[in-house]
Structure 1
Amino acid sequence: MTARSPELFGHPKGLSFLFGTEMWERFSYYGMRALLTLYMVKYLLLPENRDRVLGLDAFHRTLEAIFGPLDVQPFASQVYGSYTALVYLTPVLGGLIADRWLGNRRTVIIGALLMALGHFMMAFEHLFLFALLALILGNGAFKPNISSQVGALYAPGDARRDRAYSIFYVGINLGAFLAPLVCGTLGERVAWHYGFGAAGVGMLIAIAIYHFGTPYLPEERPRAKASTSSPRTPLTSEEWRAVGVLALLCVFVTFFWATYEQQGNTIALWADENTDRAVNLLFWQGDVPTTWFLSLNPFMIFAFTPFVVALWARQSRRGTEPSTLTKMSLGCLGVALGNLLMVAAALEASATGKASALWLVAYFAIVTTGELYLSPTGLSFVSKIAPARLISMLMGFWFLTNFTGNFLAGWLGSFWSTMDKGAFFLMIAGVAGAASAAIFVFDRVMKQNPSGQAL
Structure 2
Amino acid sequence: MSDPAPRPLKAHPAGLYFIAAAQGAWYFSRYSTQAILVLYLAHVVYAAPQGGAFPGVDTLRRLLSWEAQTANPQALASTTIGLLALCMIPTQIFGGFLSDRFLGRRYGAMTGLVFLTLAPVFWAFDTSFILALPCFVLGLSFAVNLFAQVGDLYADDDPRRPDAYQIMSLVQEAAVIIGPTFCGWLAARYGWHYGFAAAGSVMLAGTLAYGMGWRHLPSPAPSRDGARPQGASPLALLRLGMRIALLIPMLAMIFICNEQIYDTYLIWGEQHYDRHLFGWVFPASWLMSLDAGVSFITQIMAIAFWRFYMRRRGMPGEWGQIVSFGMIGLVAPLVLAYASVLHSGGGQISMSWGLMFHVVNDLAMATIMPISLALFIKLAPVSAKSMAAAAYALVARLADIMAGQIGQNLPSWGSTRFWLLHTAIMAIGLALLIAARPLYKIGNPQT
State the TM-score, normalized to the length of structure 1. Answer: 0.86
SS of 1:118 mapped into structure 2: helix
* 2:407 matched residue in structure 1: 413
Per the TM alignment, residue 342 of structure 1 is displaced from its structure 2 partner at its CA by 0.2
Runs of 4+ in 1 over 6 A off after TM superposition: 228-233, 387-392
Over 3 Å counting, the alpha-carbon distance change for 1:350 and 1:208 in structure 2 is: same
- Larger displacement relative to structure 2 (126-135 or 270-279): 126-135
Give yes or no for contact 2:259–2:396 (8 Å, CA) kept in 1. Answer: no
Moved more, 17-26 or 375-384: 375-384
CA shift, 1:19, in A, is 1.1
* 1:422 counterpart = 2:420: no
Structure 2 residue 340 is the aligned partner of structure 1 residue 346: yes
SS at match of 2:234: coil
Contact 1:349 1:355 in 2 (8 A): yes
Corresponding residue for residue 122 of structure 1? 123
The alignment status of 1:19 with 2:20, answered yes or no, reads yes
Contact 1:338 1:366 in 2 (8 A): yes
| Distance in 2 separating the partners of 1:55 and 1:172 | 33
Tell me the amino acid that sits aligned with residue 124 of structure 1.
F
Identify the range of structure 1 (196-205 vs 349-358) with the bigger mean alpha-carbon deviation: 349-358
The one-character-per-residue Cα deviations of 1:247-300 (angstroms, maximum 9, x if unpaired) are 3332211212333211022211122111111122xxxx3112211121122222
Q: CA deviation at 1:131?
A: 0.9
Task: Supply the distance in 2 between the matched residues of 1:261 and 1:374 (Cα, whole angstroms).
Answer: 13
Closer/same/farther in 2, CA of residues 158 and 318 from structure 1, 3 Å limit:
closer
CA distance in 2, matches of 1:17, 1:287: 38
- Structure 1: state its 5+ residue gaps: 1-7
Instruction: Give distance in 2, aligned partners of 1:33 and 1:431.
Output: 24
Match of 1:164 in 2: 164
**Identical-pair percentage:** 25
CA deviation after TM superposition for structure 1 residue 386, in Å: 5.1
1:259 matched to which residue of 2?
257
The answer to whether the 8 Å contact 1:44/1:50 transfers is no
Deviation at 1:210, TM superposition (A): 1.4
Match of 1:303 among 287, 297, 300: 297
- How far apart are residue 316 of structure 1 and its match? 3.6
8 Å CA contact 2:75, 2:407 repeated in 1: yes
| Closer, same or farther: CA 355–117 of 1 in aligned 2, 3 Å | same
Bigger shift: residues 184-193 or 9-18: 9-18
Indicate the residue corresponding to 1:433 in structure 2: 427
Residues 241 and 450 of structure 1 are in contact (CA less than 8 Å); yes or no, is this contact kept in structure 2? no
Q: How does 1:381-396 map to 2 (within 5 A)?
A: 381-385=375-379, 393=387, 396=390
> Shift of residue 373 of structure 1?
2.6
1:392, CA displacement in angstroms? 6.2
Aligned residue for 1:153? 153
How far apart are the structure 1 equivalents of 2:244 and 2:93?
18
Write out aligned runs for 1:254-293 (5 A).
Answer: 254-280=252-278, 285-293=279-287
Which residue of structure 2 lines up, in the alignment, with residue 226 of structure 1? Answer: 225
The aligned amino acid for 2:38 is T
Pairwise CA distance, 1:243: 4.3
| Equivalent pair of 1:89/1:400 in contact (CA under 8 Å) | no
User: For structure 1, which segment, 252-261 or 190-199, has the greater mean C-alpha deviation from structure 2 after superposition?
Assistant: 252-261
8 Å contact from structure 1 (residues 176, 298) kept in 2: yes
C-alpha separation in 1, matches of 2:413 and 2:35: 23
Q: Match of 1:397? A: 391
Contact 1:85 1:407 in 2 (8 A): yes
Summarize the Cα distance change of 1:203–1:16 in structure 2 as closer, same or farther, 3 Å threshold.
Answer: same
Partner residue in 2 for 1:5: none
- 1:109-143 Cα shifts (integer Å, max 9, x gaps): 333232222211112223222111112112223x1
CA distance in 2, matches of 1:429, 1:112: 35
Q: Return the offset for 1:163.
A: 1.4
The letter for the 2-side match of 1:119 is: P
2:234 aligns with: 235
State how 1:156-195 maps to structure 2 within 5 Å.
156-195=156-195
**Distance in 2 of aligned mates of 1:374 and 1:229:** 30
- For the residues of structure 2 that align with 1:440 and 1:70, how far apart are their CA atoms? 40
CA shift at 1:156, angstroms?
Answer: 4.9
Deviation per CA, 1:410-435: give whole Å up to 9, x if none: 11111111112111111112111222
Letter of the 2:171 partner, please give it.
G
Distance verdict in 2 for CA 1:296–1:198, change over 3 Å = same
Whole-angstrom distance in 1 between the partners of 2:210 and 2:381: 34
User: Match of 1:253, SS?
Assistant: helix
Deviation for aligned residue 1:195 = 0.5
Of residues 332, 336, 339 in structure 1, which corresponds to 2:330? Answer: 336
Q: Would you say the 8 A contact 2:50–2:58 is kept in 1?
A: no
| Aligned positions of 1:56-95 closer than 5 A | 56-87=57-88, 89-95=90-96
Which of 432, 442, 447 in structure 2 is aligned with 1:450? Answer: 442
Change (3 A) 1:388 1:151: closer
CA distance in 1, matches of 2:258, 2:229: 45
> What's the CA shift for 1:352?
4.3
Mapped to 1, the partners of 2:386 and 2:109 lie a distance apart of 19
Separation (CA, whole Å) in 2 of partners of 1:120 and 1:31: 13
Show the 5 A alignment for 1:340-379. 340-379=334-373
Q: Which stretch of the first structure deviates more once superposed, 192-201 or 246-255? A: 246-255
Paired residue type of 1:15: L
Shift of 1:227: 5.7
